[in-house]
Amino acid sequence: MAEQRDGTGHGGRNPGEAQGARDVGEAHARGATPEEARAWEELVATARRTVTDGLVVGTSGNVSVRVGDTVLVTPSGVPYDRLAPGDVTGVDLDGRQVLGTLVPTSELPMHLALHRSTGARAVVHTHAVHATAVSTLVTELPLIHYMAAALGGPVRVAPYATYGTDELAANMLRALDGRSGCLLQNHGTVTHGATLAQAYDRTAQLEWMCRVWLTAASVPGLSPSLLSRRQLTEVEERLRGYGQRG
């Protein structure tokens, strides 16, 4: 059947849908599959959200998402608001660039370590203010709130190592053992998930918990009450049945 046009010039689609189709088409023309092009679009939106929500400043932080054996990553030193569909940047699991010409993020070793060693499909790394501040004070985020259970348990702090190094990636993996989020000492946060939305939500939750602890701990003459490991375990059990069923 011939496509019916609605007077908009987009064959029945609204302008936003038409733009989305053009974006996917542009990325596809650069060698990305349609699935990779859609994932790139979501990755860029997530990266921009980290700036909008104040989790990064400038080009600090980075995001990745895995599609098959290809890991799409934000490029190094490019402001997120300037990224276009044709800027799609991807590497294989050994770090060889397979998509695009922009240099991948300097934190590529950290992202690849997670994608190779866990079931993570998406990774978000930020320099969130409160989380970074906490990373300089403790070796584990105090159990200020039960939502630590949503990250797998008490949030550990990975020992400091120079950014972009295999040492930092190894420290991060140890801190993430059994967890979906950790702090990087004097650096920031790393979270992972099955989707970009899940990884981002975990980042936002971690930053919120750090802010709560810093706020409570700053009250003169008082110390915040903390949860016990037993109380956290009880929450972990309840979270297994949390959400909609069906």
Classify 85 in phi/psi space as left (phi over 0), alpha (psi -120 to 50) or beta: alpha
Give just the sign of the alpha carbon dihedral 53, 57, 58, 64: negative
Q: Compute the distance between CA of residue 74 and CA of residue 91 in angstroms, rounded to an integer.
A: 11
Q: Give the tokens for residue 171.
A: 């420290």
Catalytic, out of 17, 36, 41, 107: 107
Number of other CB atoms surrounding residue 3 within 10 Å: 6
Q: Any catalytic annotation for residue 3? A: no
Q: Cα–Cα distance between 101 and 205 in angstroms, integer?
A: 34
Per DSSP, the residues of 83-134 read: --GGG--EEETTS-EEE-SSPBPTTHHHHHHHHHHSS-SEEEEE--HHHHHH
Q: Which two tokens stand for residue 143?
A: 């159990």
For residues 152 and 202, give the distance between their C-alpha atoms in angstroms, rounded to a whole number. 11
Catalytic residue set: 107
